[in-house]
Structure 1
C-alpha cells in the first residue's frame, strides 16, 4: 500500500508503479487539498491511484481497507483448481461477492485466481 501526499516532483509516481505491480493499493491526497499539489497530481494522472481523498480522510480509509482485508477469506491455495469453489456462509455479503467473482472469472476465462495474492 502506498499513500502519495503533498510534494513536488514525480518520485511518488515511480514508486506507485512498483506497488501496483505487486498488487498493492494506492492512495493519494487530492491535489486541491495539498500545499504542493505536483506530486499527487502526477500520481493521479498516471492512472495508478485507486483512491484520492483529502488528507483528513485518509486515516479512516486506511482503517476501512485494513478491516476489509481481515474479513475476506480467499479459498486455500492448496485446493485443486478443478474443484468448484467452496460455499460460504450466506450472511457474509462481502465473502459471497468475492466468491461469485472468482467463480465467474474461473468459469468464463478458465483462470483460477485463488492462488493470486489477496490484493490482486
Structure 2
C-alpha cells in the first residue's frame, strides 16, 4: 500500500504540471492531499515491519533525525532550483525523480527477496 501511495504521489504531482484550469488544479491538490494521507498512514507500518521491536525506538529516532536533515538540506536545494530556473516545474520534476528512485529501489528489493526465498525453497526441497 505504501508503494501505491508513492505512485499516487508521483502521478498527482505530475498532473500538477499539466494543470491550467483552476478546478483542475483544485482536483489535483485534493488528489495530492489524499495520496500524502495514504503515505503518512502506511509509513508508520513500514519501519516496524523491518525492525525488531526492541530496536523500534532507535529506528524511529534515526528516521526522524534523517528526515529532518533531508528536509533541512532539500528545502534550500529546491529553492535554489526554483530561483535558477524561475519555475516550480523543475522542482516537481526533482521531487518526482527522488520518489521514483525510492520506489525503484524498493521494488528491486522485493524482487531480490522473492528470488532469494524461491531459491531457498528449492534448496530445502532437494534436501
Indicate the structure whose relative CO is greater, using CA pairs within 8 Å and at least 6 residues apart: 2
- TM-score of the aligned structures, taking structure 2 as reference length: 0.28
Q: Which has the larger radius of gyration?
A: 2
- TM-score of the aligned structures, taking structure 1 as reference length: 0.30
Greater share of helix residues, 1 or 2? Answer: 2
